[in-house]
Amino acid sequence: MWKVLVLLSMLAAVQASAGWRPAVVDSSAARPVPSDIPSDRIVGGDVASPGQFPHQVGVWVYLDYSSNPAFCGGSILTKNVVVTAAHCAQPGQRFRLVFGAHEIHNETGPVVVRHSVKKLVHERYRDDGVYSNDIALLYFDEPLVFNERIRPIKLPTNERALYYNAKVTMSGWGLLSSSEREVAPVLHFVQSRVVTNLYCRARFFFQAVNPTNICVSGWWAKGTCQGDSGGPLVVYDAAGEPTLVGITSFGVSFGCQLSWPDVFTRVSSYLQWIPAGIASFKAQDVDWRSVRAMSGEPAVLLQHIMDVEMEGLDYADTLTSRVGDTRSANTRIVTGDEAEPHQFPFQVGMLIADPDGGKFFCGGSLLTTTWVLTAAHCADPGMYFDVILGAHRIREHEPSQQRFKVTKTATTVVVHPDWDPDKTVNDIALVRLPQPCTLNEYVKLTRIPSPERASATLWNKNATMSGWGKPSDSAESISPVLRYVMTRIVSNYYCNFRYMFLLIRDTNICASGFSGKSTCNVRKPSILISVEIVIAALLRRRVVRGAAAQGDSGGPLTIPDDDGEPTQVGITSFGVALGCEKYWPPAFTRVTSYLDWIHKTVGSGWSDTSKLGPLPATSNSSIW
């Protein structure tokens, strides 16, 4: 792998004359490593037991169809995807992946071989000597069958974990010493400790180590070297299960046994990029002919709460938050958990009829005693609204319920003036009740953030979605009881990447969708002309004017306040129209982007302003 050229006594002269360069070695006597491929190897280690590292992959890298291959390592993520280093994948034209091996040249017995020509190198990978974002994915069509010798490895869950002083294990078939010229015939491993990035940067003269790297000590001449690039750096939990925390990246070029730190790509820095990349491979397999043949409107917005697990992609069993609390990550709930009765007293259900008599279902939240907050795509086509407060079993007339009938006029249903159904922009509306509701233990106001914190991103916050939407693609109707699912807020950059940079704006907020929690839709796009429009139509959603299209659009996305009470930060807006079980991040209208419009609409300009309840931002403590 690429080695940082460092001369301790004459650093400036070396930098001026050579800068950074790769170390060129032979991967075996018969298979020379071309100078185009950097590499790394295990030194000072021990022979692994057969099957000790079932996630380990041997990666033969072919620069073209005539050259001898170079050698790298990798790790199994799913039945079809391996993660490795970008500096291994970028120059490769095709890849030969070896799974379940102990002797790398013996491909009999439990060994499985796959061939790959599909790769995804991180879009910000730099090969100019810094080697930032040194991560890549390799995809193969024929899925693996997992067994004792072939298993995926878990990913971290805490994006901020430093792992300082953690005991870690490196493994691979790399060269066993600087004097070797062949990859090791059997799998080796070595154990070491994580060191701070500050120490690591100092050892590299503050020139090559970034926050997206993680370093191990290299003390006692134990570490990586040529042949192991792209291989795994793992930590083991109390149950002995490994978690992938690093991908072998680079070290110093003047020898492998010099007790210098080894540098790895920090996997926790790419927890959003990895599932997005896996999804992009699946998106490449979409049959556009079948997409164009689909019937119905170009997009669908009405959603339902569900839980999706990305097949084969696993995460560590515990989540450690920024404040140090540990939570179980095993909260995947295929159809959502049933809420406790009146667990979400601000939740509103609305049965809406359009002028043609078609009916659909949406969610909402009680903003004041006379105003309901919902999505524009719900309110815009509606003419008659049955608004239900205090419900748990939405189809029944429970004693706790308060029901109101609203007929659409200019003053009873207020859609944002800049609502654009084609672009799904400004997807927010207010519905005014004919008289104030009664607040009690079953019916309470939602809490919205204070204007002072309107610019907060809320990235990585725990969040909750709730509603009566359909629990699966195959469900015939909405859920009879209120359900909810917990997830995390993701960055808008990641969300925009997942939507091909077509739809996500600053006025949106997104939930992850990749750790098992998502929202969903029910109909497919219509016949469209160009692939670009087809893609956009797959991602956009509009209100559905039919009884079959019922869900949670317009419902609340909340995060907990310091006192444990929920504060609403989003309104369910859109997702992909490919189906519910697609682990895609659902998009919401960002409430903080519309605080001025909400206050203006609710607090002034109406004939019965005196009857309005106080806005939650002032009647309740702010989340910040």
pLDDT for 252 equals: 62
Stretch among 134-138, 153-157, 284-288 having the lowest mean pLDDT: 284-288
**May I ask the CATH class of domain 286-608?**
mainly beta
Q: How far apart are CA 199 and CA 209, in angstroms?
A: 10
pLDDT tier for residue 276 given thresholds of 50, 70 and 90? confident
> Helix, strand or coil for residue 223?
strand
Under 8 Å between Cβ of 559 and 566: yes
Average the pLDDT over 151-168 and give the result: 89
pLDDT tier for residue 225 given thresholds of 50, 70 and 90? low
pLDDT for 290 equals: 28
Beta pairing class for 70-76 and 81-84: antiparallel
Whether 377 is catalytic is yes
pLDDT tier for residue 525 given thresholds of 50, 70 and 90? very low
Q: How far apart are CA 46 and CA 170, in angstroms?
A: 11
Quick one: DSSP state of residue 578? T
Tell which residue, 374, 333, 437, 408, has the closest CA to residue 568.
374
Residues 40, 262, 380, 427: which is the catalytic one? 427
12-26, 464-478, 527-541, 554-568, range with greatest mean pLDDT: 554-568
Stretch among 30-44, 94-108, 561-575 having the lowest mean pLDDT: 30-44
The residue count for the chain: 624
pLDDT tier for residue 372 given thresholds of 50, 70 and 90? very high
pLDDT for 320 equals: 25
Residues 377, 392, 450, 552: which is the catalytic one? 377
Under 8 Å between Cβ of 571 and 367: no
Share of the chain above pLDDT 90, in %: 42
pLDDT for 74 equals: 97
DSSP string, 239-278: TS-EEEEEEEEEEETT-SSS-PPEEEEEGGGGTTHHHHHH
DSSP string, 281-341: HHHTT--HHHHHT--S-S-------B----TT--B-SEEE-TT--EEES----TT-EEPPT
End-to-end CA, the chain: 47
Whether 26 is catalytic is no
Tell which residue, 344, 316, 314, has the closest CA to residue 486.
344
pLDDT at 248 over 60: yes
Average the pLDDT over 503-522 and give the result: 69
**CB within 8 Å of 529: residues ≥ 6 apart:** none
Structural domain boundaries in the chain: 36-275, 286-608
Tens digits of residue pLDDT in 389-400: 999 999 888 999
Higher pLDDT, 600 or 610: 600
pLDDT at 529 over 50: no
**36-275 matches 286-608 in fold:** yes
pLDDT at 234 over 70: yes
Q: Which CATH architecture has domain 36-275?
A: Beta Barrel (2.40)
**CB within 8 Å of 337: residues ≥ 6 apart:** 483, 484, 485
pLDDT for 471 equals: 66
Whether 102 is catalytic is no
Residues 39, 192, 268, 553: which is the catalytic one? 553
Tell me the chain's radius of gyration from C-alpha atoms: 28
> Helix, strand or coil for residue 354?
coil
Q: How far apart are CA 462 and CA 566, in angstroms?
A: 11
**CB within 8 Å of 186: residues ≥ 6 apart:** 47, 48, 102, 103, 104, 173
Q: Is 503 exposed, middle or buried (0-12, 13-18, 19+ CB in 10 A)?
A: buried
pLDDT at 523 over 50: no
pLDDT tier for residue 39 given thresholds of 50, 70 and 90? very low
Model pTM score: 0.50
Q: SS3 helix, strand, coil % of the chain, rounded to 5?
A: 15, 30, 60
pLDDT tier for residue 227 given thresholds of 50, 70 and 90? low
